Amino acid sequence: MVERHLRISAYAVCVEGGRILLARWTGGDGKQWGLPGGGLQHGEDPYDAAVREVEEETGYTVEIERLLGIDSLHQRHPRWLTHDADFHGVRVVYAGRVTGGELRHEVNGSTDLAAWIELDRLAGLDRAPLVDTALALHTERPPHGRAAGPR
């Protein structure tokens, strides 16, 4: 038996002064740095979800500047002893600019820390692959909204 799951999420890439705003995800596989963002609520527009998620995870208010692209992740993995999970994630990635608020950590959420990380420190950081994809979208600004490189 295969359990299919589609998750649509929205994220904001906030780059300022050679730093990127990240939130540290806490889950079953440990802790990993990622973009502030997450799943859409039923009926929610991705634009609004990105703004809401950044505020929830970092304390900042952001202005969405532009759509950078769409990233898709498809993976199958065992789930419990009785069946497999077939996961398809569609991630909407925006460029965002902090306009207000104060940096703080999320309480009782999916992340436990928020921080501005120097771009030159990313290589040594345990981070989600979406961070690199989003930075490529931010840098390349491809007209088709898909980062170059292996898929």
10-residue block means of pLDDT along the chain (151 residues)?
A: 88 97 86 96 97 97 97 81 82 98 92 96 94 94 80 50
pLDDT at 83: 73
pLDDT at 13: 98
Residues 30, 128 contacting (CB under 8 angstroms): no
pLDDT at 5: 84
Q: DSSP per residue over 110-131, as a string? A: SEEEEEEEEGGGGGGS-B-HHH
Nearest-angstrom CA–CA distance, 33 and 122: 10
pLDDT at 80: 66
- Look at residues 48, 23, 16, 34 and name the one whose alpha carbon lies nearest to residue 104: 23
Q: Is the backbone of residue 141 left (phi > 0), alpha (psi -120 to 50) or beta? A: left
pLDDT at 120: 95
Residues 105, 113 contacting (CB under 8 angstroms): yes
pLDDT at 17: 96
pLDDT at 93: 98
pLDDT at 81: 67
- CATH number for the domain formed by residue range(s) 2-140: 3.90.79.10
pLDDT at 109: 87
Residues 16, 115 contacting (CB under 8 angstroms): no
State pTM to two decimals: 0.90
- What angle (nearest 5°) sits at the alpha carbon of residue 37, between those of residues 52 and 60? 50
- Look at residues 133, 61, 56 and name the one whose alpha carbon lies nearest to residue 93: 133
Tokens of 123: 């290589």
Domain boundaries, the chain: 2-140
Residues 54, 37 contacting (CB under 8 angstroms): yes
